[in-house]
């Protein structure tokens, strides 16, 4: 089997509800210039990966990825993953571009196997609970209203992206705990809005409110800052979401005590191959690798590995619109078709 072509199909995706993650970060905008990366083979099977920032992907395919891939056996994913790192050395690839080809290659592999992807790469569970991952709403009342709807729908866990004001966010987290009671898993994501002193303040508030984890309170450049935070508080610190270098980097977060649980994902850790590496690395330390972000590749990854808890599902409106595929039990399953199942996905 050989790769015959690599193509990009650009399309505009309308963002249904404009949102932001916290004050200070740019908002979502109204339209995303997305792209399908498509890898064709001489056996008539094509694999696809969905990319944001389509024009940038088109440029990378035209200058680098087509040459890297055409003529090779698409099932030699480890070899091609290594080649992507060689391109990264020259290009300093955007973190979401590193594993894009790998996702399409795994789509091909699972189609060849005739199995849903998650059963090819591990196969741990057929469905997984989703948590409601909020965007940043205007007021505490709006957050509580959203939480009520999420719990009514069937979600068993909620994660907040709030304003990025450490005092206000800490108070919101405590108000939410008082509102929903002790049985619901609550998490808080700082979206890298804080320095170390503010992170310590938020961490102690979350600790008192019995949160499951504190996620990415600071940029992930300084492992030492995360080490000092994790040393000072009991609340589990979840880190390594946007740090570069996949498992090579996560290994340092782990051995330097800068994480109690780590992030893995298909789009920030080098596709399926990189996402699995991070998960298996963490498991060796009896640590969870929580899958960051939604979408089908991440859903397959979450259902393939034992050491993860939830699928992250965006809740982006005050009157909630639940992601298709999430049942009233709060769980979601990958499509039961060969490959990633892009066309079988609800949308």
Which residues contribute to the site for Mg ion (CB under 5 A)?
Answer: 189, 241
Q: Which is nearer to Mg ion, 102 or 216 (CB)?
A: 216
Q: Which is nearer to Mg ion, 314 or 317 (CB)?
A: 314
CB of 19 to Mg ion, least distance (A): 14
Handedness of CA 263, 267, 273, 274 (dihedral sign): negative
The CB-of-269 to Mg ion minimum distance in angstroms stands at 13
The least CB distance from residue 293 to Mg ion, in Å, is 8
Report in angstroms how near the CB of residue 216 gets to Mg ion at its nearest.
5
Cβ closest to Mg ion, residue 189 vs residue 260: 189
As measured in angstroms, the least distance from the Cβ of 189 to Mg ion is: 4
Residue among 162, 168, 239, 178 at smallest CA distance from 210: 178
Least Cβ distance, residue 241 to Mg ion (angstroms): 5
Give the strand pairing for 3-14 and 213-215: unpaired
E-assigned strand segments in the chain: 3-14, 31-41, 46-51, 128-134, 157-161, 185-189, 213-215, 237-239, 261-264, 289-291, 311-315, 331-332
DSSP secondary structure of 163-218: -S-HHHHHHHHHHHHHHH-SSSEEEEE-TT---HHHHHHHHHHHHHTT-SEEE--S
Name the minimum Å distance from CB 335 to Mg ion.
25
Q: Which is nearer to Mg ion, 21 or 155 (CB)?
A: 21
Among 116, 125, 115, CA closest to 306: 125
Alpha-carbon torsion angle 105, 108, 112, 114, nearest 10:
120
**Cβ proximity to Mg ion, 88 vs 241, nearer residue:** 241
Give whichever of 102 and 189 is closer to Mg ion, judged by the CB atom.
189
If the CB atoms of residues 102 and 312 are measured against Mg ion, the closer one turns out to be 312
Closest residue to Mg ion, judged by C-beta, is: 189
For Cα atoms 83, 87, 88, give the angle at the middle one, nearest 5 degrees: 110
């Amino acid at each position: 089997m050989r790769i015959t072509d690599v193509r990009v199909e650009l399309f505009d995706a309308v963002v249904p509800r404009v949102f932001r993650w916290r004050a200070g970060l740019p908002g979502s905008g109204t339209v995303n210039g997305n792209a399908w990366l498509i890898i064709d083979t001489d056996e008539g099977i094509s694999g696809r990966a969905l990319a944001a920032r389509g024009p940038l992907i088109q440029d990378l395919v035209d200058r680098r990825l087509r040459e890297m891939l055409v003529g090779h056996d698409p099932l030699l994913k480890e070899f091609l993953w290594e080649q992507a790192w060689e391109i990264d050395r020259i290009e300093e690839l955007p973190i979401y571009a590193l594993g894009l080809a790998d996702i399409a290659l795994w789509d091909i592999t699972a189609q060849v196997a005739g199995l849903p992807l998650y059963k090819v790469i591990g196969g741990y569970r057929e469905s997984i609970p989703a948590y409601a991952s909020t965007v940043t709403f205007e007021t505490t009342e709006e957050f509580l209203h959203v939480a009520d709807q999420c719990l009514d729908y069937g979600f068993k866990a909620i994660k907040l992206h709030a304003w990025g004001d450490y005092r206000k966010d800490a108070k919101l987290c405590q108000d939410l705990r008082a509102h929903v009671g002790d049985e619901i898993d609550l998490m808080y994501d700082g979206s890298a809005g804080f320095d170390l002193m503010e992170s310590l303040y938020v961490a102690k508030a979350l600790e008192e409110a019995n949160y499951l984890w504190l996620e990415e309170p600071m940029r992930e450049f300084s492992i030492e800052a995360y080490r000092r935070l994790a040393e000072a508080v009991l609340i589990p610190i979840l880190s390594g979401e946007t740090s570069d270098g996949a498992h090579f980097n996560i290994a340092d977060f782990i051995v330097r005590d800068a994480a109690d649980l780590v992030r893995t994902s298909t789009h920030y850790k080098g596709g399926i191959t990189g996402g699995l590496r991070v998960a298996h690395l963490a498991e060796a330390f009896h640590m969870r690798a929580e899958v960051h972000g939604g979408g089908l590749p991440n859903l397959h990854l979450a259902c393939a590995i034992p050491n993860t808890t939830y699928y992250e599902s965006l809740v982006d409106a005050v009157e909630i619109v639940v992601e298709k595929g999430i049942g009233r039990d709060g769980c979601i399953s990958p499509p039961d078709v060969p490959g990633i199942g892009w066309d079988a996905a609800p949308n």
